[in-house]
Amino acid sequence: MLKGEDLAVTCSYQSVARIINKLKLTGSTNNLPRSGRPRKVNPEAKAFIEEQMRRNDEATSQEIQKKLAKRGLIVYASTVQ
């Protein structure tokens, strides 16, 4: 416990054991990459799409798709949806 603080953490034995095993196997407690197809739209493009939706909530996915194409990201309108 930290001095001057009432800090109580409850955690199961199995959770601690998993973390220790992960540390032994990988040398880190960071999450491993997930399986599956990578995202087509990077976080910057996603933020751009969200900004476009905030500016004009009636904008269609095709309009936003065209704006993304001008920025160099070619995606289908269904990806924007």
Q: What is the DSSP string of 22-73?
A: HHHHHSS-SPPPPPSPPPSS-HHHHHHHHHHHHH-TT--HHHHHHHHHHTT-
User: How buried is residue 52: exposed, middle or buried, by Cβ count under 10 Å (0-12/13-18/19+)?
Assistant: middle
Give me the pLDDT at residue 67, please: 92
pLDDT band at 39 (very low <50, low <70, confident <90, very high): confident
Q: Is the pLDDT of residue 6 over 80?
A: no
pTM: 0.54
Sorted by where each begins, the domain ranges of the chain are: 43-80
Mean per-residue pLDDT over the chain, rounded: 87
Give me the pLDDT at residue 2, please: 57
What value does the mean pLDDT take over residues 5-33? 87
